[in-house]
A = this chain, B = another copy of it.
Amino acid sequence: MTQATPLRAAVVGSTGYIGMQCTALLAAHPDVELTRVLGHRSAGKRYCDVVPGSPVGLIIEDSLDPGSADVVMAALPHTVAASLAPGWLAGGATVIDCSADFRLHDAAAYRRWYGVEHPSPDLLDEAVYAMVELQRDRLACANLISVPGCYPTATLLACVPPLRAGLIEPDIVVDAKSGVSGAGREAKVANLFSEVNESVHAYGVAGHRHKSEMLEQLRDAADGDVGFTFVPHLIPMTRGILATAYLRPRPGVTEADLHELYAAFCDTSPFLDHVHTPPATKSVTGTNRAAIHSGWQDGMAVVTVAIDNLGKGGGGQAVHAMNVRFGFDETAGLESRVLWP
C-alpha cells in the first residue's frame, strides 16, 4: 500500500535510546514529516537541547497523545504501549511498537515473563512481528507492527533460515554479546561506566525474557519443538550485538550447503551482507545492516551475526518495517555510511 507523502509521524518515548534512533531516522527520512516528539523526563525542552547533536528543534511534550499522526512509533516501557495502542489504532494511525508488548502471541507467556496481565490480549493476534527479512509479506497490510528485540533480531537471522530449510537439528545454542546501550537509558548502578568497563559477564543464564520471543519464532520456523539455549553477555562497548550460533547440521548437510543458504538469504535484502570473515560489530555501527558469516568447525556450523542493537536491532528495523508497510523504497532514510574506525 502506497501513501501520499510526507507521512506524518510521531515518536512516543523519544528520549530513550531506541526512541532517539527512531527520532533521528524519521527526522531525516525523505518521505516523512516528524510532527511530535513525546517524552516525560525532558518535557518542555527543545529536543536538540536534550539529545546531543540532534537537528530536531521540536519541543518535547509531556504527553502520550500522538495527535493526528499517520504513524505512531512507540519506544516505551512494557505495558504502556499495550494500554494505549487500541486508542491510537482507533484514531486511524499505524502503530509501530518497539517494546516487548506485542512480540509474544501467547498472553500467558507475557504474564510469566513480565509479571503482569497483558493490557490488550485481543491485539496479540493482530500484531505482525517485524523481523522484516523473515516476515516481509505480512507487513504490507499491518496496522500494528511489533519490532523484535535486539537479541532476537541477531539470533533469528542466524537460526531461522537453516531451520526453515531443514538443514539443521532443532537443537541450538546461541551465545550473544551485547553493548551496554541495550540496557536502555535508565539510571542503574549496574550500567555505570565504572561498573562495566574492562569487564565482561554473562547474565540471564537461567532464562532471559527474550528467550520466549525467540522460542515462538524458532518453533514456527522448525514447525515443531526446538531445544534452545540462549545466554547473553554484557560487553564494554556502547553499541552492537554479536550472536554466535552453534548449529548441528543434519546428516549429509555440508559446509557448502549452509554457505549457499545464507548467501541466497542475504540476496533477498539490501541490508544483509554475507561476509567472508567473522564480522566485527563495528562494521555495522549506526546502520540497519546485518553482517552474517557462516563458519564450520569439525562438523559443527558456527554462524555469527553482527548488528547495531539500536539500529537493525531497534530504530532501524522500525523504520525498515514502516518503509515496507507504506510502500516506500526499503532503504529510504536508512542509507547511512560506516566510517571505520
Q: How far is the CA of A75 from the CA of B281 in the complex (A)?
A: 26
Question: What per-residue 1/0 map shows which CB atoms of A71-106 lie under 8 Å from chain B?
Answer: 000000000000000000000000000000000000
Q: How far is the CA of A236 from the CA of B291 in the complex (A)?
A: 19
Cβ distance A202 to chain B, nearest Cβ, rounded Å:
4
Which residues of chain A from 224 to 246 have a CB within 8 Å of any chain B CB? 227-231, 233, 235-240, 242, 244, 246
* Chain B residues in 8 Å Cβ range of A228: 298
Q: Judging by beta carbons under 8 Å apart, are A198 and B197 in contact?
A: yes
Write the residues of chain A forming the contact surface with B, with a CB cutoff of 8 angstroms: 17, 20-21, 24-25, 27-28, 49, 51-55, 173, 175, 177, 179-181, 185-189, 191-203, 205-207, 227-231, 233, 235-240, 242, 244, 246, 276, 278-287, 289, 291, 293, 295-298, 300, 302, 304, 306, 310-311, 335-341
Q: How far is the CA of A54 from the CA of B194 in the complex (A)?
A: 17
Cβ distance A157 to chain B, nearest Cβ, rounded Å:
15
A282 CB contact (under 8 Å) in B27, B173, B199:
B199
A198-B237, A297-B207 known; A181 and B341 CB under 8 Å? yes
Minimal Cβ-Cβ distance residue in B for A192: B191
Cβ distance A208 to chain B, nearest Cβ, rounded Å:
9
Q: How far is the CA of A194 from the CA of B186 in the complex (A)?
A: 11
Cβ distance A35 to chain B, nearest Cβ, rounded Å:
18
Q: Judging by beta carbons under 8 Å apart, are B338 and A336 in contact?
A: no
Most B-side CB within 10 Å, residue of A179, A198, A341: A341
